[in-house]
Amino acid sequence: MPIPKAELHLHIEGTLEPELAFELAARNGVTLPYADTDELRKAYAFEDLQSFLDLYYELMAVLRTEQDFEDLANAYLVRAAAQGVRHAEIFFDPQAHIARGVGMGTVVEGLWRALGRSEENHGVSTQLIMCFLRDESAESALRTLEAAKPYLDRIVGVGLDSAEVGHPPVKFREVYEAAAALGLRRVAHAGEEGPPEYITEALDVLGVERVDHGLRCMEDPALVERLVRERVPLTLCPLSNVRLRTVDVLADHPLPAMLDAGLLCTVNSDDPAYFGGYAGDNFAAVRRELGLSEDRLRELARNSFVASFLEHDEERRAR
Ligand code: ADE
Ligand code: ZN
């Protein structure tokens, strides 16, 4: 029986497995520039975040209809449930779809067809977090928030993702203020490839409650002390860090040092179809490669519920 856990860092578009990509391509008359799933998998040798993002955005071309988004989400939920995920806070990237002529309504309604029935069908409660692409303009982010207004009953919060370096959090001050005024929760990717200063800025300028990745906080002891003191959760993604080369090998991952420092760490999968594993696979990998004890693994699972946006009653039920 896998440990019950919450997944707090998961891009739904990053759960697009090669088999489903080809199935949806055929259904929608989209031609992929790969002969088959084997050839596509060979393209999964990434140099850095950008080389991954190029493929991630390219493959989104197969996602066109509500049915596609429903199928994508259901495929994820089946895998997540099998790995002990009881609650998932799921990112989506509307700008990447709107730019291809696929509207906010298609994306949210499609995902919701799966998420709205997820508790009964899969035993997994879910929430949706809408991410802004940080390599797009602040105006585009504001337009995206506007487009989301009819769907806010299905969106718990906002996040910030895509190419980090050169796109500091401060660029999105206004849209985060507007999101807060609408009652949305706030998270942001920071300190994945970008410097520790981006983590501080995400906290101070964007008012985030949780930091996605946050790995590079370890370069700044004063920041670590602050994150510990303020109990700011970090959503770490160990297999992602190896595949995107922010750490050389999993055995070098700073997770044990981060736990020893008292940081509120969680373990998540990021883009599991691309990085070699879902939430349970990430737990198994850190246990194996970092020698984490059963107690440490239970602490990570407990942290995932503490750091979630679940109300406490729901949190207890999930455990
Ligand atoms: N979008 C999807 N996965 C991402 C990641 N790991 N970092 C930034 N943006 C992303
Ligand atoms: Zn991510």
Q: Which pLDDT score, from 0 to 100, does residue 231 have?
A: 98
As given in the structure block, the two tokens for residue 212 are: 């996605």
Ligand 1 centroid distance, CA of 56 (Å): 9
What would the mean pLDDT of 227-234 be, rounded to a whole number? 98
Biggest CA–CA distance in the chain, Å, is 53
* Euclidean distance between CA atoms 230 and 242, whole angstroms: 28
* Euclidean distance between CA atoms 13 and 96, whole angstroms: 10
pLDDT exceeding 90 applies to what percent of the chain? Answer: 97
As given in the structure block, the two tokens for residue 76 are: 């994820």
pTM over 0.95: yes
pLDDT tens digits, 212-222 = 999 999 999 99
Sequence spans of domains, the chain: 5-308
* Euclidean distance between CA atoms 132 and 158, whole angstroms: 7
Residue nearest to atom 9 of ligand 1 (CA): 162
Q: Which pLDDT score, from 0 to 100, does residue 86 have?
A: 98
Q: Which pLDDT score, from 0 to 100, does residue 311 have?
A: 84
3-class SS at 88? Answer: strand
User: Which residues are CB-contacts of 315 (< 8 A; sequence separation ≥ 6)?
Assistant: 305, 306, 308
What would the mean pLDDT of 9-21 be, rounded to a whole number? 98
Band of the pLDDT at 1, cuts 50, 70, 90?
confident
* Euclidean distance between CA atoms 172 and 5, whole angstroms: 31
Number of the ligand 1 atom closest to the C-alpha atom of 164: 8
Residue 134 in contact with residue 163, Cβ under 8 Å? yes
Residue 308 amino acid letter: S
pLDDT tens digits, 72-100 = 999 999 999 999 999 999 999 999 999 99
* Euclidean distance between CA atoms 123 and 198, whole angstroms: 36
* Euclidean distance between CA atoms 23 and 99, whole angstroms: 22
Q: What is the DSSP letter of 60?
A: G
Output the CA–CA distances (angstroms, integers) from residue 302 to 144, 258, 270, 279, 316, in the order listed. Answer: 34, 16, 19, 14, 10
* ipTM of the shown complex: 0.98
Residue nearest to atom 10 of ligand 1 (CA): 162
Sign of the CA dihedral with 273 first, then 116, 132, and 68 last: positive
Question: How many Cβ atoms sit within 10 Å of the Cβ of residue 291?
Answer: 10
As given in the structure block, the two tokens for residue 56 are: 């991630």
As given in the structure block, the two tokens for residue 34 are: 């790969």
Residue 271 assigned ligand-binding role: yes
Number of the ligand 1 atom closest to the C-alpha atom of 271: 3
Residue 135 assigned ligand-binding role: no
- Inform me whether the pLDDT recorded for 316 exceeds 60: no
Residue 196 amino acid letter: P
Instruction: From 46, 49, 198, give the residue whose CB has the most ligand 1 atoms within 8 Å, as the site to mutate.
Output: 49
Domain 5-308: what homologous superfamily?
Answer: Metal-dependent hydrolases (3.20.20.140)
Residue 30 amino acid letter: V
pLDDT exceeding 70 applies to what percent of the chain? Answer: 97
The chain-wide mean pLDDT, for the chain, equals: 97
3-class SS at 168? Answer: coil
Hey, which residues does 159 pair with through a beta bridge? 131
* Euclidean distance between CA atoms 251 and 300, whole angstroms: 18
Residue 97 assigned ligand-binding role: no
Residue 57 in contact with residue 271, Cβ under 8 Å? no
* Euclidean distance between CA atoms 108 and 33, whole angstroms: 28
- Inform me whether the pLDDT recorded for 319 exceeds 60: no
User: Which residues are CB-contacts of 37 (< 8 A; sequence separation ≥ 6)?
Assistant: 18, 19, 21, 22
Ligand 1 centroid distance, CA of 6 (Å): 19
- Inform me whether the pLDDT recorded for 247 exceeds 70: yes
